[in-house]
């Protein structure tokens, strides 16, 4: 139900707005045919990290447990967005856009000497990547002092989370190395719709307010994976096990995007065009049905001790929150 409501609400929906800003502004300086914009978005991807646990046990009263001792890659990260478009006449046009965000967080620790029974995390890495490629038809129109731009087109989108972790420990003089990795990814192509608006607030100074909204429905393949490994070494011998699980299915990804802020522009008459710059806030929501993958590996010496590594795939749902800064030129 939430996806149905989301699809209806976002039927007219974000960032093709650079076209209406460029076209409208440049036309005040002279006839425009092309516009280009380079944007820096500073966004924090917010998402759930899949649970990973490592455990050592002697089969009795002693049990040691630790998890993945690293943060998810949720820090604010710069991500470029490039827009290039042209006006075809009578308010219609065509434009292409590309956006990508990549973020990585890691923490690795060398094992320290162990006295007695102990389990210590060696750290791990959390990686994240998302990108979109759009090709759209645009239509410019006007309502109550707002210059508006509606778009419809095709979008290819990709979302990929990856996580690794490891631990080292000793139980009853047996040495253990435990590791785990899991990931969630989606790749597909679908439809994208947007509606954006701009309105002068200080025309003599070239200052205007803008808002943008976009909705996308992407059809593709979602994959959730989990991999674990447990190894033990002792005076009685060595043992190990590795296990993996993968869930892959056709799925639909829904993307909602919203933004608002201020734009400044100025005519450059020597080029018969207009330079423009803008800054504002941005929010994105990506969501698809979640797959399920769980892996567990155990290794031990009979009657002495056992080590277990367990991990699960996490959810695909991701939110992006932050700022955007853009400069461009229409001629």
Domain ranges of the chain: 2-330
Q: pLDDT digits over 271-283, tens only?
A: 777 888 999 999 9
pLDDT beyond 90 at 253: yes
Mean pLDDT of 295-305: 88
- Model pLDDT, residue 31: 45
- Model pLDDT, residue 267: 86
pLDDT beyond 60 at 166: yes
Query: Which of 135 and 8 is assigned the larger pLDDT?
Result: 135
- Model pLDDT, residue 223: 94
- Model pLDDT, residue 14: 34
pLDDT band, very low/low/confident/very high, at 313 (cuts 50, 70, 90): confident
- Model pLDDT, residue 7: 42
pLDDT band, very low/low/confident/very high, at 10 (cuts 50, 70, 90): very low
* Residue 171: CB atoms within 10 Å: 28
Weakest mean pLDDT among 167-171, 227-231, 302-306: 302-306
Residue keyed to tokens 């994208």: 192
- Model pLDDT, residue 61: 66
The CA distance from 179 to 52, in Å, is 9
pLDDT band, very low/low/confident/very high, at 247 (cuts 50, 70, 90): very high
pLDDT beyond 80 at 21: no
- Model pLDDT, residue 9: 35
The CA distance from 2 to 306, in Å, is 45
């Amino acid at each position: 139900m939430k996806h149905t409501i989301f699809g209806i609400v976002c039927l007219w929906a974000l960032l093709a707005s650079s076209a209406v800003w460029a076209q409208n502004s440049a036309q005040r300086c002279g006839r425009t045919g092309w516009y280009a914009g380079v944007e820096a978005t500073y966004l924090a991807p917010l998402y759930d990290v899949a649970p990973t646990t490592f455990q050592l046990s002697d089969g009795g009263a002693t049990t040691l447990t630790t998890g993945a001792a690293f943060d998810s890659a949720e820090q604010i990260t710069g991500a470029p967005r490039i827009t290039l478009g042209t006006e075809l006449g009578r308010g219609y046009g065509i434009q292409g856009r590309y956006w990508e965000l990549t973020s990585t967080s890691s923490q690795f620790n060398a094992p320290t000497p162990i006295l007695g029974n102990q389990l210590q995390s060696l750290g791990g890495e959390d990686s994240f990547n998302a990108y979109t490629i759009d090709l759209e038809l645009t239509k410019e129109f006007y309502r109550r002092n707002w210059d508006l731009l509606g778009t419809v087109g095709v979008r290819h989108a990709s979302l990929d989370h990856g996580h690794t972790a490891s631990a080292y420990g000793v139980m009853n003089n047996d040495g253990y190395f435990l590791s785990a990795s899991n990931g969630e990814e989606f790749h597909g192509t679908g439809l994208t719709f947007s509606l954006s608006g701009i309105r002068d607030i200080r025309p003599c100074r070239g200052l205007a307010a803008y808002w943008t909204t976009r909705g996308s429905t992407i059809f593709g393949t979602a994959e959730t994976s989990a991999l674990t490994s447990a190894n033990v070494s002792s005076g009685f011998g060595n043992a190990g096990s590795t296990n993996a699980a993968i869930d892959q299915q056709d799925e639909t990804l829904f993307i909602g995007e919203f933004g608002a802020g201020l734009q400044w522009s100025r005519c450059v008459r020597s080029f018969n065009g207009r330079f423009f710059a803008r800054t504002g806030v941005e929010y994105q929501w990506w969501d698809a049905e979640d797959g399920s993958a769980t892996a567990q590996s155990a290794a031990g010496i009979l009657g002495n001790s056992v080590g277990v590594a367990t991990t699960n795939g996490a959810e695909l749902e991701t939110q992006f929150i932050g700022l955007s800064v853009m400069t461009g030129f229409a001629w």
